[in-house]
A and B are shown apart, each in its own frame.
Chain A
Amino acid sequence: AQSVTQLDSQVPVFEEAPVELRCNYSSSVSVYLFWYVQYPNQGLQLLLKYLSGSTLVKGINGFEAEFNKSQTSFHLRKPSVHISDTAEYFCAATRNDYKLSFGAGTTVTVRA
């Protein structure tokens, strides 16, 4: 099974500043990677996904992530955050099977 580690449990950031959320996964074979966002009292919304091809993946709401196979990382970035980006962010991985393995989540709090 995949193991996903999100290196930061909480990330406070000022509005319009950049943010990076770190994610590492354990695998020696091909893997599919995802970032989801969860707003308070809601389900998960897919931000972006890496299946194959270009290592730089662009998603919704201005987010992007870079797949780094040698470092087994899939860090999420946004160049300028908004108050509305305050949420919980989850990195997830799967090996083209039935099960998504999630990290513990990173809480992003955007302050004015």
Chain B
Amino acid sequence: DAGVTQSPTHLIKTRGQQVTLRCSPKSGHDTVSWYQQALGQGPQFIFQYYEEEERQRGNFPDRFSGHQFPNYSSELNVNALLLGDSALYLCASSLRTRSYEQFFGPGTRLTVL
């Protein structure tokens, strides 16, 4: 049973560029949440997707957007990258009926130069 997978593992971008991160949820899960973990800090909730729609959103600007596909996989897009966007981006999957039980992927390390 595959767990949550994310790609790529690492990514280096320059300021102003755009980036897309990808996530495949754990088998049987229908809900995907994204978190940003800056160095030395705990993860911060970005948003959650269910039934291909953004259901809830944390305190992040509109530069952060996402998408969920019919197979429940998801993408996180960040436009106009800033140095402060450098972080580990974590994807978590869950069942909608038990959305508090989230299983995390290994993350994508984004470095903005």
The answer on A and B forming one complex is yes
Contacts from A to B (Cβ < 8 Å): 4, 32, 36, 41-46, 49, 51, 90, 92, 94, 96-105
Q: Which residue of B lies closest to A102 (CB)?
A: B42
What is the count of residue pairs linking A and B with beta-carbon distances less than 8 angstroms?
Answer: 59
Distance between Cα atoms of A92 and B42 in the complex (Å): 9
Distance between Cα atoms of A100 and B43 in the complex (Å): 9
A-B contact pairs, 30 of them (CB 8 A): A32-B100, A43-B6, A43-B104, A43-B105, A43-B106, A44-B43, A44-B90, A44-B92, A44-B104, A45-B104, A46-B103, A49-B101, A51-B100, A90-B42, A90-B43, A96-B99, A96-B100, A97-B56, A97-B99, A98-B33, A98-B56, A98-B99, A99-B48, A100-B43, A100-B92, A100-B100, A100-B102, A101-B45, A102-B42, A104-B40
Q: Which residues of B are found within 8 Å of A4, using beta-carbon distances?
A: 42
